[in-house]
Structure 1
């Protein structure tokens, strides 16, 4: 009986994740306002000399109007940053519109800094756990292949929702952010929406 109950519980959990994350259910703006947990990658396809760069965003499951978001921007511009030094990690909080006004174009570039985003819904989430993990990622240095903008974002997402297992959120070590965003999440992960075109809000 215990084995059967465990299998039923696992099936129900998978069903909740997959049904909640289906891109056919709602347009992007409606999905962003729906209740429950939600995490998103934002992609800068031109970042890291063409390898790509990602920011992350997480919705408060108890308040659909509140998000936290951030990134690790490799402040020193080196292949590695020692723990305790500034690795360019930052985090902000606010509404979805505030997020879109925050992730702006870099003044020195001809295209938007972030050009697309893709998300997955979850049945719930632990915002405090995500914030604690962000602080740990902020303080543990930087390494271009295995401790970077992508792997740190994955750690933050998994802390927020342990249901985001490797089946939904594969490891990102040694992966180019562009390849992970475009290929891995499409062909090797479950439940992710297809990319949405990202258009930031320009506030005066």
Structure 2
């Protein structure tokens, strides 16, 4: 399990400080440029239901211009752990990304969550390659959310294959149960 020095949680809303599980999806609406189009890019975050100040988060970023990356090859997957403030700071411009890298996020509360299961799913996704339509930042995020909380069925977390991440974030989650409205990042 990833650990970090305990840092007080300063959350943007009271619900963020509540106990229990919580999953958040972050959107970069200008990410994933392929063949002259922009599809959007997402990162994921989940809260430790036993330690509300601890989160793990990550993304699969693929590589610019590559629509397919073979299984076992580097696909730009990464994971981190720490406080909500650490999470927010790490999803900002870092030399590889433009200013304002993530534009918005939205979250859903869960009764609980299994961080170890989510981390196993991350490791599987990290070695499973990348495919812009079927095995991407969004589908890997959904898989992590579902193993973190099996209660996140398709009613709460629709399938994401062949749906551009920016459309999923805006439209699919608007039609799903339990997701909060998007917040500007």
Structure 1 residue aligned with 2:77, among 76, 89, 93? 89
2:164 is equivalent to residue 180 of structure 1: no
Residue of structure 2 equivalent to 1:193: 180
Question: How many residues in Structure 1 have an aligned counterpart in Structure 2?
Answer: 171
2:89 is equivalent to residue 101 of structure 1: yes
CA contact (8 A) 1:76 1:86 kept: no
CA contact (8 A) 2:92 2:99 kept: no
Alignment of 1:130-169 (within 5 A): 130-169=118-157
Q: For the aligned residues, what is the CA RMSD? A: 1.5
The structure that is strand-richer by fraction is 2
Residue of structure 2 equivalent to 1:48: 32
Return 5+ residue gaps in structure 2 as ranges: 1-10
Shift of 1:106: 5.3
Residue of structure 2 equivalent to 1:39: 23
- Higher mean displacement: 100-109 or 59-68: 100-109
After superposition, what is the alpha-carbon deviation per residue over 1:99-124, rounded to whole angstroms, capped at 9, x for unaligned? 01111125477640001000000000
CA distance in 2, matches of 1:63, 1:44: 28
- Higher mean displacement: 99-108 or 29-38: 99-108
After TM superposition, where is structure 1 displaced by more than 6 Å over at least 4 residues in a row? none
Residue of structure 2 equivalent to 1:6: none
CA distance in 2, matches of 1:104, 1:114: 7
Return 5+ residue gaps in structure 1 as ranges: 1-26, 199-204
CA contact (8 A) 2:54 2:81 kept: yes
CA contact (8 A) 1:116 1:197 kept: yes
Residue of structure 2 equivalent to 1:63: 51
2:108 is equivalent to residue 120 of structure 1: yes
After TM superposition, the score normalised by the length of structure 2 is 0.88
After TM superposition, the score normalised by the length of structure 1 is 0.80
CA distance in 1, matches of 2:75, 2:114: 25
Residue of structure 2 equivalent to 1:15: none
Which structure is larger by alpha-carbon Rg, 1 or 2? 1
CA distance in 2, matches of 1:126, 1:106: 29
CA shift in 2, pair 1:138/1:76, >3 Å: farther
CA contact (8 A) 1:28 1:196 kept: no
